[in-house]
């Protein structure tokens, strides 16, 4: 795709535009001016070291921080002042937190059915079970009596039903066996084909690289670099430097 064709399109289907986002937990100032741009249907990653502020960026989008300033525009609408429960409805966001957030007092199916409908176009239950066949087998079990992989699948599956169009996925491959990581890669690819816009927070760059259109590198609460997928091979040295511990 040539730059000339991409630019005007970018304007018309712009989904998320974050400018100078600051976030605080109590007295700690965690984000120091994050800028992000996402078009409808894009997959972006937030890369960086632990504690760089990637998870906080997702949480700040949802209003799950003590205080935030700056601008978050979803489809042109400013959402920074909205309370958390309105943000999901206004912006059609689905959130899969790092700790997965499976409810232990709910069965698998109750977990799956918990998030309310936000808009049209969510996956049907049958489609979800087709995409995650394991979940169907264990649907009567309590949420936390699942393997780590099953819990991760459930945490993703339950936000697909709601009609959310922007998925915030935090460290979904963390601590999982390679075969499950591979399966998750296939699922992200399918979701992408279905037009979901996705922000991945990832430690595992080899997992994220073939899935994403763009990589944001975050350090000390700022975006310090931004690399398009096409430019990754030429910039591997730079990326390795950012991600090395």
Interacting residue ranges for another protein, rule: CB under 8 A: 62, 64, 83-89, 93, 95, 97, 101, 103-106, 110, 113-116, 118, 159, 162
Report CA torsion sign: 143, 195, 169, 152: positive
Nearest CA among 139, 114, 117 for reference residue 126: 139
Q: Which CB, 106 or 239, lies closer to another protein?
A: 106
CB 217 within 8 A of CB 227: yes
For the bound state, the minimum distance from the C-beta of residue 174 to another protein, rounded and expressed in Å, comes to 17
How many CA atoms does the CB half-sphere of 119 hold within 13 Å? 14
DSSP alpha helix (H) spans, the chain: 3-12, 54-61, 84-91, 108-113, 125-131, 133-137, 148-157, 178-193, 205-208, 236-243
For the bound state, the minimum distance from the C-beta of residue 121 to another protein, rounded and expressed in Å, comes to 15
Q: Which CB, 198 or 217, lies closer to another protein?
A: 198
Pairing of strands 214-219, 28-39: unpaired
For the bound state, the minimum distance from the C-beta of residue 72 to another protein, rounded and expressed in Å, comes to 14
For the bound state, the minimum distance from the C-beta of residue 229 to another protein, rounded and expressed in Å, comes to 28
Q: Which CB, 70 or 97, lies closer to another protein?
A: 97
Nearest CA among 21, 20, 17 for reference residue 42: 17
Give the residues across from 54 on adjacent strands. none
Q: Which CB, 75 or 238, lies closer to another protein?
A: 75
For the bound state, the minimum distance from the C-beta of residue 93 to another protein, rounded and expressed in Å, comes to 8
| Type and span of the H or E element at 82 | none
What number of other Cβ atoms are within 10 A of residue 210's Cβ? Answer: 11
* CA 69 to centroid of chain Cα atoms: 21
For the bound state, the minimum distance from the C-beta of residue 135 to another protein, rounded and expressed in Å, comes to 17
Rounded CA-CA distance 65/194 in Å is 31
Q: Which CB, 94 or 185, lies closer to another protein?
A: 94
For the bound state, the minimum distance from the C-beta of residue 199 to another protein, rounded and expressed in Å, comes to 14
Q: Which CB, 95 or 207, lies closer to another protein?
A: 95
Report CA torsion sign: 20, 36, 185, 146: positive
Q: Which CB, 100 or 214, lies closer to another protein?
A: 100
């Amino acid at each position: 795709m040539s730059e000339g064709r991409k630019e005007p399109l970018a304007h018309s289907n712009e989904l998320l535009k974050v400018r100078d986002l600051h976030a605080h937990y109590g007295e700690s100032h965690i984000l120091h001016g994050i800028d992000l741009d996402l078009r409808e249907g894009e997959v972006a990653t937030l890369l960086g070291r632990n504690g760089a502020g990637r998870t906080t960026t997702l949480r700040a989008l949802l209003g799950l921080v003590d205080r935030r300033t700056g601008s978050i525009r979803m489809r042109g609408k400013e959402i920074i002042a909205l309370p958390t429960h309105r943000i999901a409805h206004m912006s059609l966001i689905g959130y899969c937190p790092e700790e997965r957030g499976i409810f232990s007092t709910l069965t698998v199916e109750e977990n799956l059915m918990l998030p309310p409908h936000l808009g049209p176009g969510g996956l049907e239950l049958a489609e979800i079970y087709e995409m995650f066949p394991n979940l169907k087998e264990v649907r009567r079990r309590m949420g936390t009596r699942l393997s780590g992989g099953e819990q991760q699948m459930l945490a993703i599956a339950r936000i697909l039903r709601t009609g959310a169009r922007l998925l915030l996925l935090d460290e979904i491959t963390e601590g999982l066996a390679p075969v499950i990581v591979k399966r998750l890669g296939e699922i992200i690819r399918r979701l992408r084909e279905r037009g979901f816009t996705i922000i991945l927070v990832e430690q595992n760059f080899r997992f994220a690289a073939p899935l994403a259109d763009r990589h944001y590198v975050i350090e000390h609460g700022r975006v310090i670099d931004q690399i398009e997928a096409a430019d990754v091979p030429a910039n591997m040295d730079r990326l390795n430097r950012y991600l090395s511990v």
